Amino acid sequence: MERQGDGTCIKKGPWTAEEDEVLLNYVNEHGPRDWSSIRSKGLLPRTGKSCRLRWVNKLRPNLKTGCKFSAEEERVVIELQAHFGNKWAKIATYLSGRTDNDVKNFWSTRRKRLERILQTSPPNSQQNKGKDPVFHELPILEVPACGFTAMQEGSPSGKNQCLPLYPESSEEYKMMGLPGLVRSNSQTLEADLPALETISMQMVRPFESVSDCPFSQPQLDLSLIPECEELAIEPCDLNFLDMFKQAEHLEAETGPKSVTSIPPMGLKDNAFNAKQGGAEAPPSPDSFFDDFSPEMFDYLEPLPSSSGL
DNA sequence: AAAGGCGACAACCGCAGGCCG
DNA sequence: ACGGCCTGCGGTTGTCGCCTT
């Protein structure tokens, strides 16, 4: 309990069943609003904020409480995070029964795990001396941002298209990741929102089989955003290729079971090798995604739930 | 069996935006 | 136009239970 200036006490910490009941009764009677009046009326010694949070995250109807993220949900979160950034509330609206807190927790747990996995990897090659560790860029590496665009087969243009992304800040750019720099022609994000709705629909009705999963059918028609082309090459040098070299090195040392035995994220061998040689032109945009497949997620994190698809 | 690591989840905090007087 | 209040959001931290060593 914490005493306020007005003499009243504010309770913090875990909610009791009795408090939940009071809160539910209040919402049933008044609707999910006027949270502050719950305290002012003396119904609960909780702030309006705390009440709202409790209702949104636990008491609201149709929540998937105690239910782990399915493989499809994971993929959707990954895709949407690549496009929206850390807009958890927005992402949550595309996942039936999930709250922003759920998505946020899911993502941070995932990120922590990835960081830890890579931290246990041997030190980077000389190329990384004096640079931030590669794992700082992890969210980039795990997000093949164009994967879900393959489901836009019914788009008006009749083509599968990548959502356009124009990073306005370096932070946005970092969050987005290289694949997000690739897009087709002049489409707006708003124009692609129906496609996102499709994702939501898919989440409500889980894919019947692997072959139904739109993520497994990448047919991309992509081109680089001209103004970002230069930027796109940079992270490739700094991160992707470092990762690939690391992976290659580690695989030689520890065998293919190593967690860092990383497939080259859709880079075709020729593109990868050309880049390694350093003399050739950067890989073509298409070559980044020709090999995209759902398995590309799996090196980062096994998806136990996906095995049962 | 005990200890530590880790993942999942719950809840708080600070900030920003909208609304209203 | 301005300030206060309310709501919503994102970041962070704490807790608990399970698993591994």
The residue extents of the domains of chain A are 2-59, 71-308
**Weakest-pLDDT range from A2-6, A55-59, A71-75, A230-234:** A230-234
Average pLDDT over residues A228-243: 35
How far is Cα A247 from Cα A254, in angstroms, rounded to an integer?
A: 10
Q: What is the pLDDT of residues A171-206, one digit of tens each?
A: 333 333 333 333 333 333 444 444 545 544 444 433
Average pLDDT over residues A239-246: 38
Tell me what pLDDT residue A119 has: 63
A225 or A249: whose pLDDT is higher? A249
Model confidence at A254: pLDDT above 70:
no
In the structure, how far is the CA atom of residue A67 from the C1' atom of nucleotide B10, in angstroms? 15
Instruction: Specify the nucleotide whose C1' lies closest to residue A10 (CA).
Output: B12
Instruction: Specify the nucleotide whose C1' lies closest to residue A85 (CA).
Output: C10
**CB-to-strand B contacts below 7 angstroms:** A 11-15, 46, 49-50, 53-54, 57-58, 65-68, 101-102, 104-106, 108-110, 112-113, 116
Contact between A184 and A161 under an 8 Å Cβ cutoff? The reply is yes
In the structure, how far is the CA atom of residue A38 from the C1' atom of nucleotide C7, in angstroms? 14
**CB-to-strand C contacts below 7 angstroms:** A 32-37, 40, 48-49, 52-53, 86-90, 100-101, 104-105, 108
How far is Cα A210 from Cα A37, in angstroms, rounded to an integer?
A: 49
Determine the protein residue whose CA lies at the shortest distance from the C1' of C8: A89
Contact between A30 and A58 under an 8 Å Cβ cutoff? The reply is no
CATH architecture under which domain A2-59 falls: Orthogonal Bundle (1.10)
**Weakest-pLDDT range from A13-22, A29-38, A96-105, A287-296:** A287-296
Determine the protein residue whose CA lies at the shortest distance from the C1' of C7: A49
How far is Cα A243 from Cα A256, in angstroms, rounded to an integer?
A: 15
Tell me what pLDDT residue A8 has: 67
- The protein footprint on chain B, as nucleotides within 7 A of a CB, is 6-14
Alpha helices in chain A (DSSP H): 17-30, 36-40, 48-54, 71-84, 88-92, 100-119, 138-141, 170-176, 189-204, 229-235, 241-254, 269-277, 285-289, 295-298
- The protein footprint on chain C, as nucleotides within 7 A of a CB, is 5-13
In the structure, how far is the CA atom of residue A16 from the C1' atom of nucleotide C5, in angstroms? 28
Tell me what pLDDT residue A41 has: 82
Tell me what pLDDT residue A249 has: 43
Instruction: Specify the nucleotide whose C1' lies closest to residue A86 (CA).
Output: C10
Take residue A135 and report the two structure tokens written for it: 């794992």
Tell me what pLDDT residue A83 has: 80
Tell me what pLDDT residue A67 has: 75
**Per-residue pLDDT band at A133 (split at 50, 70, 90):** very low
Share of chain A above pLDDT 70, in %: 34
